[in-house]
Every structure is written in structure tokens, then in C-alpha cells.
Structure 1
Amino acid sequence: MLDLRPQHPRQRRRPPAPLAFTLDHLVPLSLGGDLLDPANARSAHRRCNSARGNRATVKQPQRGSRRW
């Protein structure tokens, strides 16, 4: 939530927690992803979401079970 209250000039603001959850879009909005489509959303850590930037998600191949 964005805090719009005026801040005292000497009051320090804590940086956001890197492992806090954020909403990540599978197809970024800048590449034409839909803002309101639930299929285009997933949760991600703030650090992971920032590192990914506006790259589209590539599905990783599913690994089979190691149990035979």
C-alpha cells in the first residue's frame, strides 16, 4: 500500500523487504500483457520480480520423478 502521508524530512523510511511477495505478470504489461487477467498473474518475491524485469516468462521443462 502506498503511504501518501507527508514525511518528516529526518524520518527514515525502511527499504522494502526483498522476500516480500509481489504480483508478477507472466507477460509484462509493457509487452501487451493483460492487467486484469488472472491467468497472467502469479506471486513472486520482490527481489525475483525486480531481477526478471520486463522479460516474458519462459516455461521450464518439467522434470520427471526420480522414483522409477
Structure 2
Amino acid sequence: MCALCRRPVDKALRLAPDGRPHPLSPEVDEIIPVSRGGSPYERANVQLAHRRCNQRKGNRMPGDRVKTTRLPLPVSQQW
């Protein structure tokens, strides 16, 4: 199971037809990213994830807020 989306992971899935890694292929995700002080070798810091889910997570840690893409409301009186 993917630790990020909770869906099954096909461990045999490797490449998409165009030769790039398949978006649902398995990857190892660091819970605390290496760029933020985590260890890629500590077993308690790694989990199974889909490639797509892992890329969406980026270097965020548990508890980090996700940025919203909403535009701010206009504050001017001229509209």
C-alpha cells in the first residue's frame, strides 16, 4: 500500500510505454526528507509510495501545510 494515498502499489510496474518511469511505479519515500535532515538509511524513516505521490509530496514533512493556489481576493474599492 502507498503510504501517501493508501492505494495498492504494483511492485512489478517499472516503465511506461515511452520509456520513462511509470507514475504508479514503486518508490521509497523518506518521511523526513534528506534535504531536511532525515536519513535515507534509517529504516524507520522510509516508506513505500507511488512515484507520482512521492513527487507531489516533494520535501514536505508530516505536518507541513500545503500551499493553496487560490488567488487573493481584491481589496480595492474600484471594482
Q: TM-score range by the shorter chain?
A: 0.5 to 0.7
Unaligned runs of 5+ in 2: 1-17, 64-79
TM-score, with length taken from structure 1: 0.63
Instruction: Name the TM-score, length of structure 2 as normaliser.
Output: 0.55
Name the structure, 1 or 2, with higher relative contact order (CA <8 Å, separation 6+): 1
Q: Is 1:56 aligned to 2:73, yes or no?
A: no
List structure 1 runs of 4+ shifted beyond 3 angstroms: none
**Percent identity of the aligned residues?**
41
Residue by residue over 1:9-65, the C-alpha shift from the partner in whole angstroms, topping out at 9 and shown as x without a partner, is: xxxx6111000000000000000001210000000000000010000123xxxxxxx
Aligned residues: 46
1:44 aligns with 2:60: no
Unpaired segments ≥5 residues, structure 1? 1-12, 59-68
